[in-house]
Structure 1
Amino acid sequence: MNASEDGPDARNLARLIALSDGIFAIAMTLLVLDIHVTGDLDTAGFHRMLHELLPHIGAYALSFAILAGFWRDHRRILQLAHRVEGLSLRLELAGLGAIALLPFPTTLLSEYASRPLAVALYAATVIVIDLLQLAVLHTLRRERRTSGAGAYGVAEARSSGDRDIVTDLTVTVAVFGATVPIAFASPRAALWTWLALIPIKFALGRRARAHRQRGAH
């Protein structure tokens, strides 16, 4: 951050980070509410209940991983920011609203994973969150260029960090966007397509860490 630690920009940014962390934490916690077991079950009923919980556990794990990735990118976006106000603040709040909404399509996915519309709505929600994060980053970059904030070394590090975040978010948009039409042909195929993100995200994470290490030297 360019603002001093006790300056108004730094304080406002710290408040925004605290607010966003709280919203991410609540959204992640709400995901687990669909996972529960009723009491007084016999052996057969217990095993049946565990089998019925598998889609809920899968949807929980998927959404938790997605939210964790969004939280990581979101923190990196705000850490690269000088200030967040005006259009970037409105986009940021819209993105947090979409984050808070994710438990709803997660419940739809866990209950109706075989329904094309449920799968498509889940993918669409992830895409909206992604696009809003990209919009925040684009707006912040434009504001930085306009203000000319930052020394050359800082600006270069920010540019590298920006590219890593854009690549990460764009890949997610591409994969989930491709599965929206796939879902109406085969919901199961759309679900399996999402798994392609695991090796891709792993590779992107390694590249981003390498970039940060080079920037630190």
Structure 2
Amino acid sequence: MFHSSKSRLDAISDGVFGVVLTIMVLDIKAPSNLSWQHLGNLPEEILTFFISFAVIGQYWIFHQELFSKLTKPTTKLLILNLFYLCFVCLMPFATSLLNNDLTARFNTTIFALVVCLVDSLQFILFHQVMGHWQRQGQSPTKHDLQEYHSAIIMFGFSIVYLLVGILWPLFLLPTIALSFLVRTIISRTLTKEVV
């Protein structure tokens, strides 16, 4: 009687990502007085916004790739996807904490923890979808394997973010920025070795 709908999964997911990406910019406060003193925090806020936007943007891209071949999601996948989106929704809050103070251990730890939770659920979703494909007799393509390896690497990096956020808060954003490049190189190398 009730059927899981792929179009509804895509619609709610794209809606959540669209709203999250849009509301993140609201945390950048325009200075009330145009003076050098009031413009002091603006570069940090903009940098934090760009890096957070890139993190969420990569989640959206991976999510789109993940569900592109899936025709009928299982109830388990729908529930996992909702948990995933729940933690994606926490990214603006975590970004706001970073904007308050990039060097505060609590703020960087919360941001890194949210990223770690999203990355863990993303890995679980990838694992579930790959298993679903295999049960359906579909073989993953080279690109699918590359995305799967990237999800594993992203989860590994999120643990590094957590350690950096706790131990060296000032280096969290540079670590995240550098990890984008390293993840791409590693996932491409692993895919060449597997295929």
Match of 2:160 in 1: 178
Task: Kindly provide the amino acid, as one letter, of the partner of residue 16 in structure 2.
Answer: I
| Deviation string, structure 1 residues 21-69 (Cα, Å, up to 9, x no partner) | 1110100011100113244x2xxx5322222122211111011001111
Does residue 200 (structure 1) correspond to residue 189 (structure 2)? The answer is: no
Q: Secondary structure at the residue paired with 2:35?
A: helix
Normalised TM-score (structure 2) = 0.86
- Larger relative helix fraction: 1
Bigger CA radius of gyration: 1
CA-CA distance at 1:74 after TM superposition:
0.2
Match for residue 14 of structure 2 among 11, 14, 21: 21
Q: Secondary structure at the residue paired with 1:166?
A: helix
CA-CA distance at 1:163 after TM superposition:
1.8
Match for residue 58 of structure 2 among 60, 69, 89: 69
Any conservation in 1 of the 2:31–2:39 contact (CA below 8 Å)? no
Does residue 60 (structure 1) correspond to residue 42 (structure 2)? The answer is: no
Structure 2 portions without partners, runs of 5+:
none
Query: Equivalents in 2 of 1:36, 1:116: separation in Å?
Result: 23
Match of 1:4 in 2: none
Match of 2:104 in 1: 115
Normalised TM-score (structure 1) = 0.78
User: Where has structure 1 moved over 6 Å in runs of 4 or more?
Assistant: none
Say if 1:75 and 1:51 are closer, same or farther in 2 by CA, change over 3 A.
Answer: same
Query: Equivalents in 2 of 1:191, 1:135: separation in Å?
Result: 25
Match for residue 132 of structure 2 among 143, 146, 156: 143
Query: Equivalents in 2 of 1:191, 1:68: separation in Å?
Result: 16
Say if 1:102 and 1:196 are closer, same or farther in 2 by CA, change over 3 A.
Answer: same
Match of 1:5 in 2: none
Q: Secondary structure at the residue paired with 2:89?
A: helix
Query: Equivalents in 1 of 2:171, 2:48: separation in Å?
Result: 15
